[in-house]
Structure 1
C-alpha cells in the first residue's frame, strides 16, 4: 500500500478522511491561493475535473498562506470564494503548510525523493503533483504549467489509461 494512503486529511468543511479516500483514482494535488497571479487556474482545474472525473480523476486543492500571504481567509471564506468565482466542485482541504517545520504530512511525502536526497521544496502557489491510481507520485508541475497544458494532459491521460 502507498504511504500516501495513510496520511490524514481534513477537508475545508471539517470532515476528515485519509488520502486513501482517493485510492484507485488518479489525483492532482494542487496548493492553491485566492490572491495569486495564478488564481485564474481554478477555472482550468475545474474544466479538467469536469472532463476527467468520470474516468477516475480527482483534484485535491490545498489552500496555503505561505507564499506572500496570498491565502488569508478562513476555510469557509476560501470555499465561498472558489465556488462563487470559479464554480469549484472538486474537494478542498483545510488550509495547510506545504513546506517548513509544520509541513503537512501529505506534502512531506509528495516532495520526498526516492534516492533519499533532500526533498524539493514547493516553490509557489499552484504547484501540481500527479498521483497514480496506486498512490505513486507520477509527475510534478511548476505553477506556470496551466491545467490544460499538453504536458499535464498527456501525463493525466497516461495515468488514467
Structure 2
C-alpha cells in the first residue's frame, strides 16, 4: 500500500513538473515571436508635432504642419498580400475625407519579409501609377529595432500592441486626433474601411 501511494505521489509530481516545463516552453515561444523593442528611448518627444520626417523625395517635413488634422499613419509595402486591398481602401478614405481634415501618411518599410525592396523612386512610381494613391508617401524607414524611425518609436510608446509593442507586419495603422494624441492602433489585417467610424468621430469632434 505504501509503495503504491509513493508511486502515485511520484506520478503526480512528474505530471506537475511536465506541465510546468510545458508552460515555460510556451511562454518562451511567445516571447521569441514578439518583436523585441529595445528602441523605446527615454528621450521621446513630448508631442508627435515635435517630430520631423522626410518625404519620398527626401524633403524635410515637420509633423506640426498637420496640427489640427486627423492622421492615419501606416507602414506600407508594395509586395504584401495585404497591399492591394489596403491601398484601395485607403484611397477610398482619402477621397472621402481629405477635404474634411483627414491626412493619411504612408511610410514604406522593408522589415517584413523584404516586401518593400525598391528604391524611393521605385516605390513612388508603384504607389502613384499602380495604386493611384494621392496621399503623402514618405521616405522608406525601419519601424522596429535600434534604427526605428523616431515617429514609430513615439507611436508604439503611445499605443502598445498584442504580445509586445513592436510592429508585427505591414499595414499596422495608428490613428491620431486633431490635438496630436494617438487614440487608436489597428492590426495589419484590420481593413481601413473598418476604421471609418472612428475617423468620422474624430473629424466631427471640435479641435
TM-score (ref. length: structure 1): 0.93
Q: Is 1:29–2:73 an aligned residue pair? A: yes
1:10-159 → structure 2 map (5 Å cutoff) = 10-40=54-84, 41-113=86-158, 120-149=165-194, 152-159=195-202
Instruction: Point out the structure with max Rg over C-alpha.
Output: 2
In the TM superposition, residue 2 of structure 1 has moved relative to its aligned partner by: 5.7
Structure 1 stretches (4+) deviating beyond 2 angstroms? none
1:12 is paired with a residue whose SS is coil
**Whose strand fraction is larger, Structure 1's or Structure 2's?**
1
Q: Give unpaired runs (5+ residues) of structure 2.
A: 1-44
Q: RMSD in angstroms over aligned alpha carbons?
A: 1.8
User: Is this contact kept in 1: 2:76–2:107, CA < 8 A?
Assistant: yes
In 2, the alpha carbon distance for the partners of 1:113 and 1:44 equals 25
Return the TM-score normalized by structure 2.
0.73
1:59 Cα deviation from its structure 2 partner? 0.2
Which structure carries more helix by proportion? 2
Unaligned segments of structure 1, at least 5 residues:
none
Q: Is the 8 A contact 2:159 2:184 kept in 1?
A: no
Change in CA separation of 1:113 and 1:17 when aligned onto 2, cut-off 3 Å: closer
How many residues in Structure 1 have an aligned counterpart in Structure 2?
157
Instruction: Using the TM superposition, give the Cα deviation of residue 50 of structure 1 relative to its aligned residue in structure 2, in angstroms.
Output: 0.5
Provide, for residues 8-31 of structure 1, a one-character-per-residue CA deviation record: whole Å limited to 9, x for no partner.
Answer: 110001211111111110000000
